[in-house]
Structure 1
Amino acid sequence: MKKTITLLLFIIPFIVLAQELRISKGVITDNIKVNDTLAETFSLYLPTDFTTSKPWPIIFVMDLEGKGKQALSMFKGAAEEEGFILASSNDVSDTLTLSKNVLIVSRMFNSVAKLLPIRKNMTYTGGFSDGARFASIVPTFISEIKGVVSCGAAVGNAEILSAKKPFHFIGIAGREDYNYRELLETRKILNELKFPNNLHFSDVGHEWPKKEELANAMRQLKLAAMAKGYLEKDMDFIQKAYETDFTKANRMFTDEKPLLTDHILNEMMRSYRPFLSLDSLKSSRRQLRRSNSFKTKNRAQNNYFLKESFIKADYGYYLEEDVITYNYNNLGWWNYQMSELAKMEKSSIFFQNQMAKRLRGYVNALIDDNIDVVNSDKVVDVQALNFLYMLKTITQPDEYEGYLKVISNSSLIEDYGTALFYLEELLKVGYTDRTALYDLEHTALLRITPEFNKIVDKYLKNARYDIIED
């Protein structure tokens, strides 16, 4: 029997925004030129129901590695669901000064504003980690930006915040993220300055939020816009958002997480006060906070917060001293500290477990910050840098970068014994890229030695150079 196969052609809708500029809807369009005179480009995302007949809210997503398309992909699902345009520069970079990065964002902003119908007073920035910190600085310099969705980071520089230039700050982080407590402290500053703010927490580490969390942040931006009259009040939308949040609060309560439950109820009171009667919500929260479960867990968390503060102070003090004095002898102390964290990370005590994960994230961020400082000097202190990378092999033993840097830097200062030791340690943790090993910077003399090739042959087989025995 003859079968007829029907081919369905799915055509992605697009829109012509300017002469010879066709933007597909529902997908990320990369490398759009800011203008004809600059090499700067940006990525853009338009929801599938986008039309030029009405204005749209927009989030400018910041990524300090200039990976605009990648950054937008993390916000895309939520933006599609909540009806937000997204844009991200491919040219902002952590190697540029703040002023240069702000100018790049400003030029992108102006370009997008000419292309698209942007809703006034619903223009925001967002990002993750360092990108989020930069995103929170932008509204101080670009007054059209009215809010920030900061993922995994607090405000980049609280000292430049001004009560005369308020913006809506929405922070999203895991309670295992080392930025969690900084966000709690940031709220105190924002409240003093009367900046509208919302914080959303979950029990994860330093990672991108799920689509649902980003969509929730976008809904809160809409609610705030409705409260201020920037967006027409939609009671169906408000009621549905309220029910979604209340369902989440109930789920946290059922999971015996009274602190998260209380936090969600508090955020709901902030968001829905302009629209709904909150008497029942206030009563529920008051009853929760009087419960033994809440009091016990709140007290336990505060105790671990205090302990965490002391440990962080120790890490900061000893790291500074060790870097200045090249104190390789103290690597043993750091190894002990990491073994203690490993024990606590396996602890059945919930808040101790979370504290340990935050501390591990904190010490790794502290090391990275110190590496950046050393590398920024006109004359790089190779020994200080080497110490920091040695420390990274202790705090992040499964990450290859630390070992490779120590091998390279040790070869540069002709400390071949150290280089060979870290070569073997690198191969022990599973490194297999033989080509990269033989191309490693500063190792031209090291890699032709019998010792180097013997170690490579032991773990990877087939060393590049023959091993000549005496």
Structure 2
Amino acid sequence: MKKNYALLFFVGLFIQSAFTQEIVLKKGKIIDSIAINDTIPNSFSLYLPTNFTTAKKWPLLLMFDLEGKEKQSLSVFLSAAEKEGYILAAPKISDTVPLSNNMVRTSNVINKLVGMLPINKSRVYTAGFSSGARFANLVPVFLKDIAGTISIGASIANSDLLNPKRSFHFIGIIGKNDFNYTQMLAVEKVLDRFKFPNQILLHDEEKKWPDTAYFEKALQLFTLSAMGKKIVAKDSIYIEQAYKEDLAKVNNLKSSRKLLFAEQFMGEMTSIYGAHKNLDSLRQVQKALRKNREFKSMKRAENATFFKESILKEDYQYYMEEDVLTHNFNNLGWWNYQKTEINKFTASSNVYEKQMGNRLLGFVNALAEDNIDMVKSEKLIDEDALAFLYMLKTILEPQNFDYYMKIISLSSKNEDFGTALFYLEEALKKGFKDKDKLYGLPDTALFRITPKFNEVVSKYLKDSRYEIIEE
């Protein structure tokens, strides 16, 4: 039975819901807080491309953010959605509710969108950044008819849940400086073994998120895959243009001596264009590159850092678990030494050591934060373990003053004013100047009226709120 859709005017789309609720959907603008229906309180954000029309069916990309930033997550994909022709939506989910509840909310949003817009039900995809990415790549595991997922800055949440009989298209976007990089490479092997279509788009930028060109490429890969599966009509001009652009990228990577990138990207090209054209010439170029002496040297150097990195990660995991369990404050010196060693890696002229150093720093920070979350999730919080982890974070992130403040607050609560004073002075030495935040710290009322507190504050911030009286 053919669906009849409302007439789309240039200024917007008016849709009458089953509950007599009129919704105005404007093209080229993110619309916030669209209710699923009168009985389900959850909502979602939506973006329709400027060339949206009801005359055809559209692919849908669902963006996920667990921190309530649905609009921001959509905005990152706007140019990609415009260029590649995708509808964007962001269900309102949260990490404070069970996974099953978030899956139900996601399912409700999909059903709502399919009912109100001309969605191609064979082309529903998910995407997310970091924790949102881990949720996004779980959606096709639990919900049927999700064609693929874009995982940015995070690997598969749980590869044990993958079912070869329910495959989906996985696209990972990851930087070589990201601590999830090696895990992403490992997951790629699992996906290959299960015959899941997959591509990994790599970048070597030190910043956390890549350029928007990577998001455009990811959506393009979904479209090329849909053409290969005959879900949508094959567009030979579109395919040739995409292939030409990718071939130019390979040549640029080779000319700039980024041979590992070039070889890896050719592998991804083979997996996506094999359904569209003869790739014998591309395979010959890739084969020749693998035999190149410089390429082999680069591969050995990178593999050596992978091996060293795996050993150090095991050490970090072991000692952090032990130190948290035993409240081993004496081992903070060892952690300080490890941070110094990591800093040497990040400052190295060897690109592979530098990338490894950045990954190790990201890994140990994430490990500490995970342990903080675990300790705080317990009914009876182990405050000594929490204090150790806060102190460790000041070593790992010496300019992140939040952790100094947390130690000052926790130590003051337990009337350990010596520790509180030490971390107060350390924060002030490193440039902390937020006096309002300092005086608003919980559990520090007694600490703030001590002469030592006011003496230190006066020394670094010129004046204090309480007068220092010498007897």
TM (normalized to structure 2)? 0.95
* Residues 428 and 24 of structure 1: CA distance in aligned 2, closer, same or farther (over 3 Å): farther
Within the candidate set 14, 17, 27, 1:16 is matched to 14
Q: Secondary structure at the match of 1:183?
A: helix
Q: Do the aligned residues in 2 keep the contact of 1:23 with 1:29 (CA within 8 Å)?
A: yes
> Hey, what does 1:392 align to over in structure 2?
393
Q: Distance in 2 between matches of 1:208 and 1:118?
A: 29
Which secondary structure state, in structure 2, belongs to the residue aligned with residue 431 of structure 1? Answer: coil
Structure 2: how far apart are the matches of 1:455 and 1:313? 40
Equivalent in the alignment of 2:418: 417
Q: Which runs of 5+ in 1 are unaligned?
A: 1-10
Q: Secondary structure at the match of 2:77?
A: helix
Cα distance, 1:12–1:393 mapped onto 2, change above 3 Å: farther
Alpha-carbon offset, residue 248 of structure 1: 1.1
1:110-129 equivalence runs, <5 A: 110-129=111-130
Distance, in Å, in 2 between the alignment partners of 1:395 and 1:273 is 46
**Shift of the alpha carbon at 1:238?**
0.5
Asked whether the 8 Å contact 1:225–1:231 carries over to 2, the reply is yes
Distance (whole Å) between structure 1 residues aligned to residue 77 and residue 267 of structure 2? 25
Structure 2 partner of 1:100 = 101
The alignment partner of 1:445 has SS state of: helix
Distance in 1 of aligned mates of 2:22 and 2:463: 55
Residue 25 in 1 paired to residue 27 in 2?
yes
The answer (yes or no) to whether the contact 2:203–2:210 under 8 Å persists in 1 is: no
Alpha carbons 2:128, 2:136 under 8 Å: kept:
yes
**For each residue in 1:393-436, what CA deviation from the matched residue of structure 2 results, as whole angstroms up to 9, or x when unmatched?**
11111112211111111122221111111111122222222111
Mapped partners of 1:466, 1:272: distance in 2? 74
Q: Which amino acid aligns with 1:236?
A: I
Contact 1:13 1:48 in 2 (8 A): no
Match of 2:49 among 47, 50, 53: 47
1:218 is aligned to: 219
User: Which residue of 1 is the match for residue 290 of structure 2?
Assistant: 289
SS, match of residue 298 in structure 1: helix
Q: Per-residue CA shift, 1:321-347, capped at 9, x if unaligned? A: 110111111111111111111111111
Distance 1:411 1:253, change over 3 A: same
Which residue in the other structure is 1:374 paired with?
375
Listed as ranges, the matches of 1:53-452 within 5 Å are 53-90=55-92, 92-205=93-206, 207-452=208-453
Deviation at 1:148, TM superposition (A): 0.4
Offset, 1:206: 6.2
Q: Which amino acid aligns with 1:85?
A: I
Cα distance in 1 for residues equivalent to 2:370 and 2:206: 19
Number of residue pairs aligned between Structure 1 and Structure 2 = 459
Whether the 8 Å CA contact 1:126–1:148 is kept in 2: the answer is yes
How far apart, CA to CA, are the structure 2 residues paired with 1:419 and 1:115?
58
- Checking the alignment, whether the CA contact within 8 Å between 1:152 and 1:206 is kept in structure 2 is no
Q: Distance in 1 between matches of 2:394 and 2:83?
A: 42
Correspondence for 1:3: none
Q: Which stretch of the first structure deviates more once superposed, 444-453 or 183-192?
A: 444-453
Alpha carbons of structure 1 residues 206 and 148: separation in structure 2 relative to 1, 3 Å: farther
Letter in 2 for 1:14: G
Of 95-104 and 384-393, the range deviating more from structure 2: 95-104
Query: Which amino acid in structure 1 is aligned with residue 398 of structure 2?
Result: P
Cα RMSD (Å)? 1.4
Query: CA shift at 1:12, angstroms?
Result: 8.6
In 2, Cα distance between the equivalents of 1:109 and 1:440?
Answer: 44
1:321–1:23 Cα change, 3 Å: same
Indicate yes or no: 2:455 matched with 1:457. Answer: no
Shift of 1:20: 2.5
Partner of 1:315, secondary structure, is helix
For 2:300, what is the secondary structure of its paired residue? helix
Cα gap change, 1:290 to 1:104, in 2 (>3 Å): same
Letter in 1 for 2:396: T
Structure 2 distance, partners of 1:51, 1:339, is 57
AA in 1 matched with 2:440: D
- Which region of structure 1 is more displaced relative to structure 2, 18-27 or 146-155? 18-27
Shift, 1:35, TM fit: 1.4
Q: Which residue of 1 aligns with 2:3?
A: none
Residue 158 of structure 1: CA displacement? 0.8
Structure 2 alignment gaps of length 5 or more: 1-8
The Cα shift of 1:459 comes to 2.0
Looking at structure 2, the residues matched to 153 and 206 of structure 1 have their Cα atoms a distance apart, in angstroms, of 15
